[in-house]
Amino acid sequence: MRILITGGAGFLGTALANRLAAEGDHVRVLDDLSAGERTNLNPEVAFVAGDVRDVPKLWSLLRGVDCVYHLAARVSVPESILYPVEYNSVNVGGTVSLLTAARDAQVKRIIFTSSGAVYGEQREQPVREDAPVQPDTPYAVSKVASEQYVRAIGRLWGIETCILRIFNVYGPGQPLPPSHAPVISRFLRQAITGGSVVLFGNGAQSRDFLYIDDAVDALVRASRLAIIPQPVMNVGSGIEVTIAALVDAIEEAVGRPVHRLVNQEVSAGVSRLVADISLAREALGFAPRVDLIDGLRRTTAHDKRFVDER
């Protein structure tokens, strides 16, 4: 299969590109390298530097492509609050540009990676795909708007689309930017180096954490189906973990106590968010295989080597 991955040099995109290439697909990656590293890509993956809003470049890359994975996006929730114009331009504008080019190139299928963040605060947990979306940050709004474009334009122009709402992905090699780092990579680094982890609120807020290999498995399965039976599906572990329990699991993974600081003056975001993955189980045959402790141990082994090398 001939595949294009936008944002394919990022954390999730790289793992996906390498998996597809290993399975014999012809994979191209488009990435502006604002948050990715091309050196992590399999040498068999064709890399192209560029912006997902560049329609002429997209036209040239999409000729002969069977399936597009659209991962390119700005992804930091706190950063989106500071730079909503940039998030709208890249996330929404980039999606519309891709859809326009895909129409002209006669691409058959687009798989869009959305986010569990679109749900916002929900009373019913685990959250199902038919729950009303309640985005409460510019990042989440950009994902909802992109979803609507994908579904509407796909229907109008005859492109088969699949939207996967992916929850909190973690694993070896996840970037650790100086600000707004993902919670697991931030906590692990602090635990490994003997620092303190900061719990916002009281640590009772909960999330759904998914190991990188399981997230990639769901994405790959979506391209292998003859037809997409469900247009929108949650992709998560289906297991609710409080942030305080996450720190307990990290202590077990690293083999040492972790010092905790509590900051109740900073918002901890939505109180609960866990995915109902029934549709993905049925439609994709998706079943997460790596539990939290195992995933943290695998990630810890990678991060310990990184710390030792420094």
Structure confidence at residue 265 (pLDDT): 60
Residue 217: which domain range? 2-169+209-235
**119 plus 217 within the same structural domain:** yes
Tell me, what's the pLDDT at 96?
A: 98
Cα gap 178→141, rounded to integer Å: 25
Enter the tokens of residue 83.
């730079």
In the block, which residue shows the tokens 């009373």? Answer: 123
- Are 65 and 181 in a shared domain? no
Q: From start to end of the chain, where are the E strands? A: 2-6, 26-31, 46-49, 67-70, 109-115, 160-166, 168-170, 196-200, 206-207, 209-211, 232-235, 241-242, 259-263
- For the cut 90, the answer to whether the pLDDT of residue 306 exceeds it is no
Spatial distance between the Cα atoms of 203 and 105, rounded to a whole number of angstroms:
48
Residue 103 is assigned to a structural domain of this protein: yes
Same domain for 200 and 117: no
CB 93 within 8 A of CB 66: no
Preceding omega of 126 cis (within 30 degrees of 0)? yes
Q: Mean pLDDT throughout 145-171?
A: 97
48 occurs within a structural domain: yes
Considering the domain boundaries, does residue 179 fall inside one? yes
Residues 6+ apart with CB under 8 A from 310: none
CATH number of domain containing 222: 3.40.50.720
Query: Is there a single domain that holds both residue 82 and residue 123?
Result: yes
Query: Which pLDDT band, with edges at 50, 70 and 90, does 181 fall under?
Result: confident
Question: Among candidates 196, 174, 211, 179, which has minimal Cα distance to 262?
Answer: 196
CA–CA distance, 102 with 108 (Å, rounded to integer): 8
Note whether 195 and 299 are same-domain residues: yes
The answer on 299 and 255 residing in a single domain is yes
Residues 220, 243: Cα–Cα separation, whole Å? 29
On whether both 230 and 295 belong to a single domain, the answer is: no
The half-sphere exposure of 47 on its side-chain side, counting CA atoms within 13 A, is 20
**pLDDT over threshold 50, residue 310:** no
Report CA-CA distances (Å) from 271 to 59, 148, 161, 305.
Answer: 43, 26, 31, 34
**What is the DSSP annotation of 114-160?**
EEGGGG-S-SSSSBPTTSPP---SHHHHHHHHHHHHHHHHHHHHT-E
Q: Are the beta carbons of 215 and 207 closer than 8 angstroms? A: no
φ, ψ of residue 42 to 5 degrees: the values are: -55, 135
Total number of domains constituting the chain: 2
Which residues carry out catalysis?
139
Chain-centre distance for alpha carbon 27: 19
| CA distances (Å), origin 155, targets 72, 118, 158, 210 | 22, 21, 5, 30
Whether residues 114 and 224 share a domain: the answer is yes
In a domain, 280, yes or no: no
35 has pLDDT over 50? yes
Domain assignment present for 277:
no
Does 48 lie in the same domain as 129? yes
pTM of the full predicted structure? 0.95
CA 168, 148, 74, 37 torsion: positive or negative? positive
Read off the CATH number of the domain in which 191 is found: 3.90.25.10
One domain for residues 32 and 153: yes
80 and 176, same domain (yes or no): no
Tell whether 128 and 262 lie within a shared domain.
no
Checking if the pLDDT of 179 tops 80, the result is: no
Q: Which pLDDT value is given to residue 309?
A: 47
Q: Residues 148, 159, 234, CA angle at the centre, nearest 5°?
A: 50
pLDDT per residue as tens digits for the range 251-305: 999 999 999 988 766 665 799 999 999 999 999 999 999 999 999 999 999 877 6
